[in-house]
Each structure stands twice: as structure tokens, then as C-alpha cells.
């Protein structure tokens, strides 16, 4: 399922498509699959995306909490690029009720993944905010919030778990019959679930550095995660990053330590670390456009696995070609891998 469309045109197509939907609704920026089905014959992007979006219409919401891989993957995604908002006051200064919400951010080019997750959850609104190159999946209805609490509870690994605890307190306060129990932070080995896959989907970066000038040419494949030392609530982030560092056998370093926003940086710097990551992501795959970057990155590393020779011009040209298609340079998107998305019927 290859979309032979430049990324910019793809984003523009979806932008106009979503604007059409938004303008036709008085209740807000909601994206309905019924509209996708009506328009599926008019643009190639909608045809390709819709072919997998409507392939499984009989998902049962009860299966969400029983799908181990999906739950851990989505937990990692939310802990990387999500927000659990719990209002401090029941009403605003104008007297309006404040509601809790969960937001998950997706880059513009990852709209097909956002749509698929929204459909599989069965709740949430997909919103494009002005001036931001992202879509947000927003869950704020009671059914969705309770379902997400059950999905996340016991699968979280970062300090965002305290936001989940605040949400559980509020849900229990509003629903006396629930009495949800706060499960502790997840201590499963990283290789035993898909949490890291979801977190990489949000905050991981694959890159290739090529230095062809000079006497000794050099090619480096790197994977990187950069995080603030403290989150927006002032909570330390060292613990889970240290676990990632140990898992990938690569150092965790302090970055920008003399600035107002010091960071931690984890970067693979050797073949052993890169191959550990490849083995993990082959077991628990990525599903956004970052999967395509990972495939290109892996192809380059495979050249080194078989004995890379800088004197081989075919090897050099292949590396340069693969690098030229990665990250922001990518113009062709193939979404066939979404057909292997976690089946929520199990």
C-alpha cells in the first residue's frame, strides 16, 4: 500500500479533508469514520488509509484491558507524547464544569496511525489545532476516561503515573461504586512488553551520520532519546531512562546541564546496542512513519553485519540513498505495516 505522494501534498490533502469535516460540524472538531467511508473513492490517500481502518469493525471495548501488547504500547506512547490532565477545581472562574482529559499527540504524517488507534479504542476526538503540526486524540468522556485508566493502570513506567493517580482519585470521587485501585509503577523487564516501542514512537529518533570527506570516511547509525531532567511538574526522570540505558547497553549522559532546561541524552554508539534495539523492535514493532525510518536504518546496519567495505561504491551509494529518504526527507509512505497492528479481538 504505497502512497506515491510527497509528504507535503499528503499533509495538505488531509488538512483540507479535515477542514471540510470541521466546517460541517457545529459540535466541534470531530473526525468520524462514516465520513471517511463516504469519501473513500475520491482521494487515493483516503482509499489507502481507509482500507485498513474499516477492516475490523467488530472490536469489543472489553478486550482493550486484556490486550497486553496494545496496552503497554499505548502506555509508552502516552508517556512519551501524551498528557493526563486533571483539573484542580470542579468549575472554572466562569462557572463551567471542568473535566479531566487525556491527550495523545501525533505528527501530521502519522494521521493514519492516529485514526487506527482512535477506531480501535472506540472513543476520543481527533483535533488539529491551529499553528501546531500535530493532531491530538482527546479523550474526555466518562466512558473513555474510565477505560483509559484501566488500560494504563499497571503499565506506566515514568513519573506521569502520578497524574494517573490524580485521575483515579477524581474518578473514584465521582463514582462511588468503582473504587479503582492504584497499581504500582511497572517493573517488568523492558523486553517483556511493547512499552518501549510506544515510547520510541513518540520520542525516539533514528539517524545516520555520513562523513565522506577526508582520508577516512565514516558512517554511523545512531538511535537517540532526549528528555528533560524533570518533567513539567518538576518530577525527576532519571529512573526510567537509567533502565533504558541498561537495557540498550549504552550510557545515559547529562546534556545542556548549564542551561535552564538540562536534559538527559541516551544515544546508541555501537553495533551491539543497535542490534539489541533491532531485536526488540522486530518483536514489538513501531507503527507510525517512524517504522519506515527504522527499516532504512536497519538496512544500513545490515551492511555492517555482513562486513561493510568503504571501498565498495555500491555500499556507499546505498547508504546515501537510504539516508536521503529518512525522517523529514521522506516523501513516500507505505502503510502496509498497519495491517499488523495489535488485534484487539485477542
Same fold, 2-187 and 191-339: yes
pLDDT value for 343: 65
pTM over the 0.85 mark:
no
Q: Tell me the DSSP string of 186-218.
A: P-S-GGGSSHHHHHHHHHEEEEEEEE-SSSS-E
**pLDDT for res 307:** 75
H or E element at residue 226? strand 218-228
Q: Which of 30, 27, 151, 131 is nearest to 82 (CA)?
A: 151
Class of domain 191-339: alpha beta
Q: Chain-wide mean pLDDT for the chain?
A: 81
H/E element, 104: strand 101-107
Which SS3 state, helix, strand or coil, does residue 56 take?
coil
How are the residues of the chain apportioned to helix, strand and coil, as percentages rounded to the nearest 5? Answer: 50, 15, 35
Q: Which of 3, 286, 10 is nearest to 133 (CA)?
A: 10
Q: What percent of the chain has pLDDT over 90?
A: 56
Domain boundary assignment for the chain: 2-187, 191-339
- Which 8-state DSSP code applies to residue 62? G
Higher pLDDT: 60 or 189? It is 189
Residue carrying C-alpha cell 546534556: 255
pLDDT level of residue 64 (50, 70, 90 thresholds) = low
Least confident of 90-99, 219-228, 282-291: 90-99
Residue keyed to cell 513516500: 332
pLDDT at 13 over 60: no
At the second CATH level, the architecture of 2-187 is Roll (3.10)
According to the model, what pLDDT value does residue 103 have?
97
Q: How many residues in total does the chain contain?
A: 346
Task: Give me the half-sphere count of Cα atoms (radius 13 Å) on the Cβ side of residue 324.
Answer: 6
State residue 211's pLDDT score.
83
Instruction: Specify the higher pLDDT residue, 206 or 307.
Output: 206
Kindly tell me if the per-residue pLDDT of 46 is higher than 50. Answer: no
Q: Are 338 and 201 in contact (CB under 8 A)?
A: no
Q: How far is CA 173 from CA 97, 150, 169, 178, 180, in A?
A: 15, 16, 6, 9, 10
User: Which of these ranges, 7-16, 171-180, 272-281, has the smallest mean pLDDT?
Assistant: 7-16
Q: What is the DSSP string of 95-152?
A: SPBP--EEEEEEEGGGHHHHHHHHHHHT--EEEE-TT-SEEEEEE-SHHHHHHHHHHH
Return phi, psi of residue 134, to 5°.
Answer: -155, 155
Query: For residue 246, what pLDDT band results from cuts at 50, 70 and 90?
Result: very high
Evaluate if residue 197 carries a pLDDT over 90. yes
What are the pLDDT digits (tens) for 131-184?
888 999 999 999 999 999 999 999 999 999 999 999 999 999 998 888 999 999
Amino acid at each position: 500500500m504505497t502512497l506515491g505522494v510527497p509528504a507535503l501534498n499528503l499533509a495538505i490533502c488531509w488538512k483540507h479533508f479535515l477542514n471540510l469535516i470541521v466546517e460541517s460540524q457545529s459540535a466541534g472538531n470531530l473526525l468520524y469514520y462514516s465520513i471517511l467511508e463516504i469519501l473513500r473513492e475520491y482521494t487515493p490517500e483516503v482509499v489507502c488509509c481507509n482500507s485498513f481502518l474499516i477492516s475490523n469493525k467488530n472490536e469489543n471495548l472489553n478486550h482493550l484491558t486484556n490486550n497486553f501488547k496494545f496496552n503497554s504500547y499505548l502506555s509508552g506512547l502516552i508517556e512519551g507524547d501524551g498528557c493526563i490532565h486533571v483539573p484542580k477545581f470542579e468549575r472554572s472562574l466562569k462557572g463551567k464544569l471542568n473535566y479531566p482529559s487525556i491527550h495523545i499527540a501525533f505528527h501530521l504524517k502519522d494521521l493514519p496511525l492516529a485514526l487506527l488507534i482512535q477506531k480501535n479504542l472506540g472513543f476520543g476526538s481527533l483535533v488539529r489545532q491551529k499553528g501546531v503540526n500535530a493532531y491530538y486524540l482527546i479523550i474526555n468522556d466518562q466512558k473513555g476516561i474510565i477505560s483509559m485508566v484501566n488500560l494504563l493502570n499497571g503499565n506506566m513506567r515514568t513519573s506521569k503515573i502520578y497524574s494517573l493517580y490524580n485521575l483515579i482519585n477524581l474518578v473514584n470521587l465521582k463514582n462511588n461504586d468503582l473504587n479503582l485501585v492504584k497499581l504500582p509503577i511497572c517493573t517488568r523487564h523492558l523486553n517483556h512488553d511493547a512499552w518501549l516501542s510506544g515510547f520510541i514512537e513518540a520520542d525516539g529518533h533514528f539517524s545516520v551520520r555520513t562523513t565522506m570527506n577526508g582520508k577516512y570516511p565514516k558512517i554511523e547509525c545512531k538511535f537517540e532519546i532526549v528528555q528533560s531532567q524533570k518533567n513539567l511538574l518538576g518530577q525527576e526522570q532519571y529512573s526510567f531512562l537509567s533502565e533504558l540505558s541498561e537495557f540498550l547497553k549504552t550510557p545515559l549522559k547529562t546534556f545542556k546541564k548549564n542551561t535552564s532546561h538540562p536534559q538527559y541524552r541516551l544515544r546508541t554508539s555501537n553495533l551491539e546496542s543497535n542490534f539489541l534495539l533491532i531485536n526488540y523492535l522486530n518483536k514489538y514493532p513501531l507503527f507510525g512513519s517512524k517504522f519506515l525510518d527504522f527499516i532504512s536504518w536497519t538496512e544500513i546496519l545490515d551492511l555492517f553485519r555482513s562486513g561493510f567495505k568503504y571501498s565498495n561504491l555500491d555500499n556507499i551509494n546505498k547508504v546515501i540513498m537510504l539516508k536521503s529518504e529518512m525522517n523529514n526527507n521522506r516523501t513516500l509512505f507505505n502503510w502496509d505495516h498497519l495491517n499488523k497492528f495489535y488485534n484487539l479481538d485477542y
